Structure 1
């Protein structure tokens, strides 16, 4: 950065964008070159403007902020990222080693100033920890991987793309794999198998519970011992679906959940 920090703001709430823009106006070296109200708009704006810094909201309707991170991995140079989010403290601790900073909403001006100081120091440091490596570690910490990974499913005569993070589990039934989200079941492409899904979703928190079900560990609400050495999981899918972990997979489940 040559004195000026070219910055883009991403948030689906106009008042939040206006407030952050106003607070940043107190910092003469910050030049807000664009704003975006959705993940798709953010990816386009970042690619067009090539900013030094992005203030990024995570929780947005449809595609979330993590999908933006996946798309900007290919850009050169890659921007630094600061999250401005309502994520709780536990979630923040999971990423605090891998992003420039986190700011909780509502934004405190003093906290924003401290974050900008971190940005300036990171931009001026020559420690080999570049923005690209930070983004890769951030995606890994979020259970994601570089690039845009989506699962194609059928709905209403059309193909739609699902973010793996919104899928509670995959179920193999009647010779076909189905993706189950909160309140909806989607058939996947006819040639897709659970084995192929496991390979494709490497790096995401999916676990093969049994022969016919692949579950998202991030959406397991409860677990309990069951009969014959099995476990039963209750999924956070709206219907509180129960999924059995086969006896031979119980140890792997406990290891995956660090129990």
Structure 2
């Protein structure tokens, strides 16, 4: 039985899939969610763009493999709108999550769809909407269970959020997979990152996640958001740094405990020590300067 809709907290959603049965299922499941007020279906990207020209939507649920303009290409177009809709990919392909991350997707759902998992994606969209907006943005969605046993729980407000993360939070996410479910983790929940060959292991407030992105790529993308490469194997979030200490002939950085992540020490390569000290002094994202640290830190 469909839960009663909140007449204020409703979303207008676009669903796009070139396979009629899949589109029917997607629109049916979306329509059952109490936060969804209207579902507009489109069988391809061209039809989707025509519909969007007539009326804007709050969110777009997109298949990836479609004839003509693909779902990923459509998402790129939508992301350039002045007020882009929240993007969710619904696909049978589990190897496109990195691209989803690059276009700022809120979630990445694998077919066959599960209603509970779809509800998580809708809840994330509602949670990210400005509370002060008028009309349908004014109230949260009706209550829906956050997750089923064994599924990745939905994202919550990060424990530490820098001003840079706030500014570009819509794209500051990275896909992770656990138990066959691909979810998007907030960058601001990451304490440090460890290189594992061509992969990277994210150490976050909720656990560890292995992702198909190199440490060099993350270091380049996240440098302006308060992350520093301290070693060929490690990248750290500056707001988590509590200090540096000498260890024999080397230097180690101290990171405070964060969620499930205990306090940790990581080696700093000799050529990175000076740059790290300079960033800790001048970087406004440093924890003790922004009031999030414990007052320790800086030079040993």
What range is the shorter-chain TM-score in?
0.3 to 0.5
TM-score, normalised to structure 2's length? 0.40
